[in-house]
Amino acid sequence: MKISGFTFLKNTTKLYYPVKESILSILDIVDEFVIAVGDNDPDDNTLGMLESIGSDKIRVINTVWDLDKYPNGTVYAQQTDIAMKACTGDWLFYIQGDEAVHEKDHQKILDACSKYVDDPDVEGLLFRYMHFYGDYEHYFRNHCWYPNEIRIVRNLPDVHSFRDAQSFRKIPNFDGVSYHSKEGAEKLKVVEIDADIYHYGWVRPPELMTQKTRHINTNYKGKGFNADDYEEFRHAYDYGRLDRAKVFKGSHPALMQDKIKQLDWKDKLRFSGPTAINRDLKKHEKLKYRILSFLEEKFLGGRLIGGYKNYKLIKK
């Protein structure tokens, strides 16, 4: 059995992505790690960071992002596909540059891959998610933040990244462009495993969080997008009231400890006052979704009311 790791990256060091920690969090359990690296800005050092890891498992594919051909976030899916289709493993382990896996789950992941490698009914493995927000002590896992997602897929020619690279689908005769189209696409059959993805995409200094959202909006809306036309991009990012998030009582991956020690924006976080400052309410801050999340957690054991699921969960 062979496991390939893969991801896509661009401008990750300048935007405070924990990429080195992310890659190292699964490097020991994969046989190769394929990375599509985009055309970084001159002030970014993503390639230098990758070289500093010093692993012969890592294989870099240099790419150029075409936002005109791949709009609305589909450039993420296209870049994911470039890396995925260069993998040679039986299983393909996808980890985005702001995600990490705890070492406590390594053996569980290997055991699941071994258990299902010869079972063609299982096309992917489903992980739990914790979305850390503002700092490393608060997270969301509710109606507004996907609680589960596919991160290991079987190496099949029809499997492609889907939409904005959050997940995967089988897309026969794929045209290489229509990542948002559902026509002819099939959800993967997956089994849920007892392992977590620690998502740190919303943990960075407020000033850099603003810069990240500027970059993301450009990738979705195209090069003509002007963030300066919007009030929220003129200020350091406001995370809102963190007392409405869950308090994390577990342990982070060991490789994240140095990154956690670098957190120096505690004085810029809020636990009272207005819900949001200088920006519109985020989905998880709106009353409707706060009520939905409360009902799901208190009365439904965390099961979502009409939540989006991009997979077919099967029992084995």
Return the beta strands (E) in 203-253 as ranges: 246-247
Which regions in the chain score pLDDT beneath 70? none
Neighbours of 66 (CB within 10 A): 11
Strands 246-247 and 138-140: antiparallel
Check residue 267 and report its DSSP letter: G
Is the pTM for the entire model greater than 0.75?
yes
pLDDT tens for each residue of 177-196: 999 999 999 999 999 999 99
pLDDT tens for each residue of 20-43: 999 999 999 999 999 999 999 999
The CATH number for 276's domain is 3.90.550
> What is the rounded distance in angstroms from the CA atom of residue 304 to the CA atom of residue 93?
26
Parent domain of 291: 1-316
Q: Do residues 139 and 132 make contact, with C-beta atoms less than 8 angstroms apart?
A: yes
* Cβ within 8 Å of residue 21, ≥6 positions away: 100, 253, 255, 256, 259
- Residue 106 is predicted with a pLDDT of 98
- Residue 257 is predicted with a pLDDT of 98
SS (H, E, C) 132-156: EECCCCEEECCCCCCCEEEEEEECC
pLDDT tens for each residue of 256-285: 999 999 999 999 999 999 999 999 999 999
> What is the rounded distance in angstroms from the CA atom of residue 1 to the CA atom of residue 90?
6
- Residue 316 is predicted with a pLDDT of 86
**What is the domain count for the chain?**
1
